[in-house]
Structure 1
Amino acid sequence: MSENQALQMMAQLFWNSFLIAGPVLAATLVVGLLVSVFQVVTQLQEMSLSYVPKLAVAGIVIVLLAPWMLSRLTGFAASLFNSIPNLG
Structure 2
Amino acid sequence: MSPEMVMGMAYQGMRVTLFLAAPLLLTALAIGLLVSLFQAATQINEMTLSFIPKMIGVFAALTVAGPWLLKVITDFTRELFTNIPTMIS
What's the TM-score, normalizing by structure 1?
A: 0.95
Deviations 1:56-85 (A, max 9, x none): 100110111111101110000000001111
1:29 alignment partner in structure 2: 29
Gaps of 5+ in 1: none
**In the aligned structure 2, how far is the partner of 1:33 from the partner of 1:65?**
21
Q: Which amino acid aligns with 2:28?
A: T
**In the aligned structure 1, how far is the partner of 2:15 from the partner of 2:4?**
16
**In the aligned structure 2, how far is the partner of 1:56 from the partner of 1:17?**
22
Q: Which runs of 4+ in 1 moved over 6 A?
A: none
2:67 alignment partner in structure 1: 67
Q: Which amino acid aligns with 1:34?
A: L
CA drift of 1:47 comes to: 2.1
Deviations 1:12-61 (A, max 9, x none): 00001111110111111011001001101111011221111111100110
Instruction: Report the number of matched residues.
Output: 88
**Worse-superposed segment, 2-11 or 41-50:** 41-50
Gaps of 5+ in 2: none
What's the TM-score, normalizing by structure 2?
A: 0.94
1:54 alignment partner in structure 2: 54
